[in-house]
Structures are given as C-alpha cells and as structure tokens.
Amino acid sequence: MLSLLAKQVAALAALGRVDAVNDLLDESLALPPQQGWPQGVIIRVAALELRGHGHKEESLAVAQRAMDWYRALPPEGSAARGVRFALGISYMVAERWDRALPLFEALVAENPDEVDYQGVLGVLAARRDDREEALRRSESLVGLADPYDHGREQYWQACIAAQCDIERAMILLRDSYARGRRFDVDLHVDPWLEPLHEYPPFQEFLAPKG
C-alpha cells in the first residue's frame, strides 16, 4: 500500500498539486510501516519531486515533515545508522546544512569506508565553497567502493563536482553509468545534481534513446 502511495505522491508532486500531496502524506502516516517504504521515505520523495519541478518553497515545507518524522522515532529505532543517514538526507533536502554536517561527520567517524557518507560530506564541503575539503573527500572515494558497486564512487564524485564544475561533473556522471550504475527515474530530481538540471548535456543525457 505504501509503495503505491509513493508513486501517487510522486506523480501529484510533479504536477505541483501540493494540497493533494499533503493529503496523501497524511494518509500514509495513518498506515502501519511497510518493509522498504517507511513513511519518511515517501515524504522525502514528495519533497524531491516538488523541488525538481519548480516548487522549491513547498518542497522545503514537505522536507520539514520528513525531518519531523525521523526525529519522532523511538530511541531504539532512531539510533540505527540507516535511520540516521535518512534523517541526514532529509536535513539536506530541507537545506538544513548546519544539522546535516555534524550528523554525517559522526557517521563517517564510525564507518570511514562508507562511500555514501564520504560522498555526502564532499557535497556539503563543495556547497560551502570549501573546495580543498571537497577535493579531499572526492579523492578519498577512489577505490573505496566495492568493485561490484557499479560506479557508485564516480556518482558521488559527480555530485561533488556538480557544485562547482559542471563539465567535470558530466564526465564523472557518464563514467558512473558506463560502469553499470542503474538508470533511475529519480535522476531528473536528484538534489545533489541540481546544478546540472538546466545544463543541456545533462538534459540530453536524460533524453530517451532509441
């Protein structure tokens, strides 16, 4: 049920139907959790779709709902690394960089070889114009991912580069997919690649082929 609601929420958010989106989010919160589709994820999907389709202020308000959902979890659930990671991503979608940074620094301190944690810290460094730190985080990703991760380290390097060098970001993004990264319908609203969204080579990259 929640997976179906997620698809409905994404479609309505893409259309900018904010009231209908919030109604469905309210409906989702009344349902029991479902494996793979916690309500926090559905709320974040709505926020990303709204932002990706030009409804930034509405997106920030919905992202606040995702933050609130994760922070309301009982202590036995909220301490898990996966939940803390999801909360940190929600902070970033809500542009609460001040809250995201210490959370991801703690996650990296606990697991320095986790590609996603290092990648997020690189994005945060690039966003605050700390190019030296962003480059250090990007370089630290080299060889960090499992060989079967299909371009995950190149994807995060692209996300970091997107904040300051969109041409290099596109090179890295293409490399990531050449290495087997799976094309995802959410790529067009990927918040870490937002600087590329209006870039013609990125739009051509997203265009259907064949």
Average pLDDT (183-199) is 91
Confidence of residue 198 (pLDDT cuts 50, 70, 90): very high
The 3-state DSSP class for residue 185 equals: helix
Q: What is the pLDDT of residue 99?
A: 95
CA distance 13 to 147: 36
Of 39, 56, 150, 40, which is closest to residue 95 (Cα–Cα)?
Answer: 56
User: Per-domain residue ranges for the chain?
Assistant: 1-103, 112-210
Q: What is the pLDDT of residue 1?
A: 72
pLDDT value at 210 more than 70: no
Q: What is the pLDDT of residue 33?
A: 73
Helix, strand, coil shares, percent, the chain, to 5: 70, 0, 30
- How many alpha carbons lie under 13 Å from residue 16 in its C-beta half-sphere? 5
pTM for the model stands at 0.91
- What value does the mean pLDDT of the chain take? 92
**Higher-pLDDT residue of 23, 36:** 23
- Contact, 192 vs 159, CB < 8 A? yes
**Higher-pLDDT residue of 116, 2:** 116
CA distance 170 to 159: 9
Average pLDDT (47-67) is 95
The 3-state DSSP class for residue 112 equals: coil
Lowest mean pLDDT, pick from 8-17, 68-77, 126-135: 68-77
